[in-house]
Structure 1
């Protein structure tokens, strides 16, 4: 008997997630943060050369990891996106295309940058639908913000090809996908700039924070100033020459900097990132492989095998049963949510971004992206922490099979 009907649950211990403390923290990571605290040098711009600060070293290590010319550590993934857009010179008031399935930070960052989101459908695998983007295109659209949502790589070949065709830049919201690759290339390095988060359940976690990467030196210099490098401090980021901008007084100062304590913690975590990524990949491959033949569910497919981080297991259940399926999983001891549940204020679905729609009703908002609405209403999302054991994975597999047996083909 299912637990939702009064039977015994598959597991009784809490499902491991970041908000319950299920994060990968090594004693060396703790010591790194304590070392920075004891230094009493918390502000990233002090008497030391940039390359000797925790933030400066973290940025250099990010450049090595991603193979990019520049990296800038900032206060959040949201500010990393907004800074990328502003520093690229996208005119205020412009439309920026963005998919309807992403965290609310994506449209919020567009708004923060003074622009307007143009929402676009996703396909059945919850990826930006390039053909719908083509149908909705207008000269008012000045950029594309593509999101590697829930750690799954978007079809960057198709997106960058279309962007080249229409002559606009692509920005990557790789906030949920640090370390994932497509065609052997790290996500976040396909567009003009890539933005990442170091908050909550991300590959690197310091509670808050983020960074951007780019090969464009002018964009980088402008982002540095905008982030809070005042009174000539931008020159510290260009020790071998002058920054490729005029006076830093031409730009506002937004104070989106990262501090030294977070940078120290992240530097230590970055050294162990490959092992954390391997755990994500192992767990996702195991779960998705064991459930591939389950009738009644459709597992989200990556654009190419392995092109995902593995931080979430998403599948679709038809027949209006997804909300019940998610509740049933929770009763079995597995954290899950129906992404498009009408009883949930999930801010990963576009109809809950009320700040964009004024007084429109939810049905009216859903009608703007009908395919996305349908796919999200059928989608069940299970978080997969890198701290999951194989026993945890077996519990998830058993719970899905148990519940799916009630659904049928």
Structure 2
């Protein structure tokens, strides 16, 4: 089989529009967001991102993890409070809960990579203080049902949209549906800042608390376009966690906002093309999106059907040998997305649905910049690896 022509881990180049501003910043040395009286690169990024996503307020921070942590603190979550999170997410999510001195409560996730709504409702008890919904790898859970249950019980929801910039639910941008939305600009995300994150909300009091705690010491909060009485209420009453974004990071990220529609379009086309090829196999399954969901994927997840543990390992090995790395979440040593590896949260519950899913769920990068020929090559590797392990498709069912 021909070698894959492009590395799926290569990032797109930073747009040329960023370079002049980066050069000016390097020449001036002015990298701190609060040096300028106004119009700093970070401030411009916040304003442009808020307008693009459809939120009143945006706060640029050092990471999506920092955005999640600040969101919890801005909601008043504290020591011992319970926070519902999906059992299928990245370790940074329970880590943010632990950082806020709260207790993660893990909710089952099914073979479609989405929250099990029966388990969610059962665990949404009166002592739950907040909910984080991770749209893990861009898979959107039933936000209509989630928000209805949460609002009926008065529990605020935070959307972890690290993987979902550009995804919509019923025509609304993911991240704008819940009380707070959090995004990532880490290198493998749709907008690449190396590191960095964004918190959005329409609530002036929440953003005021988050701005101060992010590190707007003394009166630097006056450089944020938020009702100043909201800030004055919290002056000197909140700790400073210093999770600010630098001007240099903002200069790298800002020009990529204009690239998002193209990356979404091309990423969706690549994903759906490969999904169609994989779903033709009796051994592979890419779950369909929910009806209101229009995804913006830069990776693909699929289930291995009828595989044993040894066959699953053989599939991973065959794919790698043919030139495409694939991880099975539950089979990769110390995988940060396998809940049983989160030793820092204490004893984890028995979650048989999530565990079974993770033991057969495959994950592969599928960036928007890939050509159709490269997508065909990647799909061909997975199909060939499955046939090598399970036998020819023509023999299936005979």
CA distance in 1 between partners of 2:6 and 2:263 (Å): 21
CA distance in 2 between partners of 1:239 and 1:378 (Å): 47
Identify the residue that residue 316 of structure 2 maps to in structure 1: 326
CA distance in 1 between partners of 2:153 and 2:110 (Å): 21
C-alpha contact (below 8 Å) 1:197/1:209 kept by paired residues: yes
What is the CA-CA distance between 1:85 and the residue it aligns to? 0.9
CA distance in 2 between partners of 1:306 and 1:164 (Å): 21
Task: Answer yes or no: is 1:178 the counterpart of 2:178.
Answer: no
Task: Answer yes or no: is 1:399 the counterpart of 2:391.
Answer: no
What is the CA-CA distance between 1:143 and the residue it aligns to? 1.1
Distance of aligned partners of 1:47 and 1:297 in 2 relative to their CA distance in 1, 3 Å threshold: closer
C-alpha contact (below 8 Å) 2:89/2:337 kept by paired residues: yes
DSSP 3-state at the match of 2:294: coil
CA distance in 1 between partners of 2:60 and 2:291 (Å): 30
What is the CA-CA distance between 1:304 and the residue it aligns to? 2.6
Task: Answer yes or no: is 1:32 the counterpart of 2:24.
Answer: no
Residue correspondence of structure 1 range 159-238 to structure 2 within 5 A: 159-238=146-225
Task: Answer yes or no: is 1:350 the counterpart of 2:339.
Answer: yes
Distance of aligned partners of 1:131 and 1:245 in 2 relative to their CA distance in 1, 3 Å threshold: farther
CA distance in 2 between partners of 1:347 and 1:356 (Å): 13
Aligned with 1:272 (options 253, 259, 267): 259
The unaligned stretches of length 5 or more in structure 1 are 1-8, 359-364
C-alpha contact (below 8 Å) 1:33/1:264 kept by paired residues: yes
The count of residues paired between Structure 1 and Structure 2 equals: 388
Q: What CA RMSD, in Å, does the superposition of the two structures yield over aligned residues?
A: 1.8
CA distance in 2 between partners of 1:101 and 1:182 (Å): 20
| CA deviations over 1:156-215 (Å, ceiling 9, x no partner) | 111101101222011000011111111111110111100011012111111111010000
What is the CA-CA distance between 1:123 and the residue it aligns to? 1.5
What is the CA-CA distance between 1:152 and the residue it aligns to? 1.7
Distance of aligned partners of 1:31 and 1:285 in 2 relative to their CA distance in 1, 3 Å threshold: farther
Aligned with 2:37 (options 42, 45, 48): 48
C-alpha contact (below 8 Å) 1:23/1:386 kept by paired residues: no
Mean Cα deviation higher: 173-182 or 238-247: 238-247
Distance of aligned partners of 1:292 and 1:211 in 2 relative to their CA distance in 1, 3 Å threshold: same
C-alpha contact (below 8 Å) 1:284/1:384 kept by paired residues: yes
C-alpha contact (below 8 Å) 1:152/1:309 kept by paired residues: no
| CA deviations over 1:254-285 (Å, ceiling 9, x no partner) | 10000000111111111222112222112112
Identify the residue that residue 8 of structure 2 maps to in structure 1: 16
The unaligned stretches of length 5 or more in structure 2 are none
Identify the residue that residue 250 of structure 1 maps to in structure 2: 237
